Chains A and B, each alone.
Chain A
Amino acid sequence: GEDVEQSLFLSVREGDSSVINCTYTDSSSTYLYWYKQEPGAGLQLLTYIFSNMDMKQDQRLTVLLNKKDKHLSLRIADTQTGDSAIYFCAESMEYGNKLVFGAGTILRVKS
């Protein structure tokens, strides 16, 4: 079945790098996504990666995809207190238009 797993909590110091990991099960996923949810808000698309790519960089964000292991990671360089949020990994399903989300990783940035 479809399942996306993430660790639930990550704590880092301001200025350090954060790495949030995710594993997924559907090898036919076309796109994989990272969403950010700030307190009291909806989810905001941070970045995405197409399944035939290994890496995507967007300013402080680096996404790494290992299709063989079905492992996705999000690295945030120079983490700031404003990066404190819940980060969700999601995969697209082969058929239809649904996404499957992980449970979310709470990132806490200590100053």
Chain B
Amino acid sequence: DVKVTQSSRYLVKRTGEKVFLECVQDMDHENMFWYRQDPGLGLRLIYFSYDVKMKEKGDIPEGYSVSREKKERFSLILESASTNQTSMYLCASSFSAGGSRGEQYFGPGTRLTVT
């Protein structure tokens, strides 16, 4: 079974703090993704990575950065947390499209509250 784990289920941070969200997958997937989920808006893609040290902006990258130093690990960084970044953050991974159906496997999510 594919396993995607996220470092925290719940996190409370103060405005202006630097926040790190970690994601690890154990299936040797090339692709990894960070989404945020807000009621009524569904999942919005923040960043994704298709290889080590490679990253591409998603639909809402402002205020976020990412790091992928190892294939199994993808980190989301909030350089200076703001209250409008209070959300559920979901990490996902998948094989490259050429050799698979492209389905993504999700972690359990991190509910971040910025006060």
Contacts and interface: CB of A to CB of B under 8 A. Distances in A.
A88 B43 contact: yes
Contacts of B105: 45
Contacts, number: 57
Contact of B106 (A40, A43, A97): A43
Size band of the interface chain B makes with A:
20 to 34
A104 B107 CA distance: 18
A101 to B, nearest CB: 4
Size band of the interface chain A makes with B:
20 to 34
A69 B108 CA distance: 34
Contacts of A96: 50, 97
A88 B107 contact: no
Contacts of B30: 97
B70 interface: no
A48 B101 CA distance: 9
Interface in B33-63: 33, 40-43, 45, 48, 50, 58
Interface of A: 8, 30-31, 33, 35, 40-45, 48, 50, 88, 92, 96-99, 101-104
